[in-house]
C-alpha cells in the first residue's frame, strides 16, 4: 500500500477529530495519529464482528437449503445429507459483496496501522504533516474554493466528512503538489464512498474537477 494513501486516510481521521489545527504541535500530532490508528482498527474489529454474523447466517441458510433439498428429503433420516447445487441469488451476491468490502477495509486499516507504527515509514507521517501545515497556512483560500464551487451550499452546513475530504484534496492539489492530479481526485472520491455516501462521492468529484479547471492545474 502506498504511503500517501495511508497518509490521506489518517489525515481525514485527524481532521475529523480536531476542532482546530492552528495550535497543533508535535506531541498533539503524534497523539492524534495514534488515536486515528486505533479508530481504524476498532472500526475494522466491529466490521469483522458484523462479517462473522453474516457468515454464520449464510452457513445456516446453506445448511437448511441442503437439508430441505428434494434430493436429501427422499434419503433415509439416519444418513448424512449429500451436497446439492445452490442457486447464487441476488441476495447472496449482496452478502458476498458486503463481506468482500469488509475484508478490504480491514486489510487497509491493518496496513495503515502497520505503516504508521514503523519508523522506516516516516513518509506517512511526513505527508500528513505537509497536508496539515498546508491547511493551517491556507485555510481561508481552501475554504473559499469550496464555497465558490459548492453552489447553493453553505460551507458551514456541509457534511463535515465531505468538507474535510475536500480540504485535504485541495491542499494536495494547490499547495503540496506532490502527487498526480488524477490520483488525488480518485482517492478523495474513494474516501467519500468509504466514509460518506455515493452522493458525496459525486459531489466531491465535481468540486475538485472545478478546482482543477479554475486553477489551470495539469
Task: List, for residues 158-186, the tens digit of each pLDDT value.
Answer: 788 899 999 999 999 999 988 899 999 99
Lowest mean pLDDT among 24-28, 72-76, 107-111, 135-139: 24-28
Nearest-angstrom CA–CA distance, 51 and 103: 8
Q: What are phi and psi of 145, to 5 degrees?
A: -65, -40
For residue 17, give the DSSP letter: T
Angstrom distance (rounded) from CA 60 to CA 11: 41
User: 135, 171 in Cβ contact below 8 A?
Assistant: yes
Q: Where do the domains of the chain lie, and which CATH numbers do they carry?
A: 3-214 (1.10.940.10)
Residues in Cβ contact with 132 at an 8 Å cutoff, skipping those fewer than 6 apart: 11, 14, 21, 24, 29
- Kindly report the pTM of this predicted structure: 0.64
pLDDT of residue 1: 45
Q: In the predicted model, is pLDDT for residue 22 greater than 50?
A: yes
Tally of CB atoms within 10 A around 27 = 8
Geometric angle at alpha carbon 104, from 99 and 107, rounded to 5°: 125
More confident residue, 208 or 196: 208
pLDDT score for 100? 76
Q: How confident is the model at residue 91 (pLDDT cuts 50, 70, 90)?
A: low
Distance CA 212, CA 169 (A): 11
pLDDT at 118 over 60: no
Grid cell in block for residue 57:
447466517
Amino acid at each position: 500500500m502506498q504511503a500517501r494513501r495511508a497518509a490521506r486516510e489518517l489525515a481525514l481521521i485527524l481532521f475529523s477529530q480536531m476542532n482546530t489545527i492552528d495550535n497543533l504541535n508535535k506531541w498533539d500530532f503524534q497523539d492524534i495519529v495514534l488515536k486515528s490508528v486505533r479508530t481504524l482498527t476498532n472500526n475494522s474489529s466491529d466490521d469483522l464482528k458484523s462479517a462473522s454474523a453474516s457468515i454464520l447466517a449464510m452457513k445456516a441458510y446453506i445448511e437448511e437449503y441442503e437439508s430441505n433439498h428434494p434430493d436429501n428429503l427422499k434419503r433415509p433420516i439416519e444418513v448424512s445429507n449429500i451436497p446439492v447445487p445452490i442457486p447464487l441469488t441476488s441476495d447472496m451476491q449482496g452478502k458476498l459483496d458486503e463481506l468482500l468490502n469488509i475484508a478490504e477495509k480491514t486489510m487497509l486499516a491493518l496496513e495503515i496501522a502497520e505503516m504508521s507504527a514503523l519508523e522506516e515509514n516516516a513518509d506517512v507521517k511526513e505527508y500528513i504533516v505537509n497536508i496539515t501545515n498546508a491547511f493551517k497556512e491556507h485555510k481561508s483560500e481552501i475554504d473559499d474554493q469550496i464555497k465558490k464551487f459548492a453552489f447553493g451550499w453553505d460551507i458551514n452546513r456541509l457534511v463535515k466528512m465531505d468538507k474535510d475530504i475536500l480540504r485535504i484534496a485541495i491542499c494536495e492539489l494547490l499547495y503540496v503538489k506532490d502527487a498526480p492530479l488524477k490520483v488525488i481526485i480518485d482517492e478523495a472520491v474513494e474516501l467519500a464512498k468509504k466514509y460518506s455516501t455515493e452522493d458525496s462521492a459525486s459531489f466531491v468529484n465535481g468540486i475538485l474537477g472545478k478546482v482543477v479547471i479554475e486553477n489551470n492545474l495539469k
